[in-house]
Amino acid sequence: MRPGYAINELVREFGVTPRTLRFYEDKGILAPQRRAKVRHYSERDRTRLKLTLRGKRLGLSLEECTEVIDMYEPGQANDTPQLLHLCEKIRQHRSLLIEKMRDIEDTLKAMDEVERSCLEKLLANTAG
């Protein structure tokens, strides 16, 4: 039994349903081997799943997730035009991520404000 994962192992580890894994397979995100119809996921599958779920948490669509994953697995992009194209895609995704970062920072600041005034009111309540 080579290192690999049954469907239910990934299901438990990542808190998704089997349906989700099969759906991702349909979409070409995962490509488990079969031993008599039964799926066996590789380390690479697990990584791609992890990256996909991370992308989803950031609001990416599955298609965008695969785009990002494809950037991580440049495979054989060795000629100059392809490398330049990859660089450009990286630049774009990075600026999107930085925008999200700013969004989060702004939201966190605002929430700190709300919490502060909330605590003040609570203090006033216990004092009164």
Dihedral angle over CA of 102, 93, 69, 11, nearest 10: 30
Q: Tell me: does residue 127 bind DNA (CB under 7 A).
A: no
Return the range that interacts with DNA (CB under 7 A); candidates 57-65, 70-78, 89-97, 115-123. 57-65
SS3 label, residue 76:
coil
Window 70-89: contact mask with a second copy (x via CB under 8 A): -xx-x--xxxx--xx-xx--
Task: Provide the token pair at 72.
Answer: 């991580």
- The site for DNA, by CB under 7 A, has a size of 20
Q: Tell me: does residue 115 bind a second copy (CB under 8 A).
A: yes
Return the range that interacts with DNA (CB under 7 A); candidates 42-50, 61-69, 93-101, 113-121. 61-69
Q: Tell me: does residue 109 bind a second copy (CB under 8 A).
A: no
Return the range that interacts with DNA (CB under 7 A); candidates 22-30, 43-51, 89-97, 103-111. 22-30
| Dist CA 107 CA 59 (whole Å) | 16
Least distance CB 110 / DNA (angstroms): 20
Q: Are 49 and 10 in contact (CB under 8 A)?
A: yes
Q: What letter represents residue 2's amino acid?
A: R
The number of CA neighbours under 13 Å toward the Cβ of 65 is 21
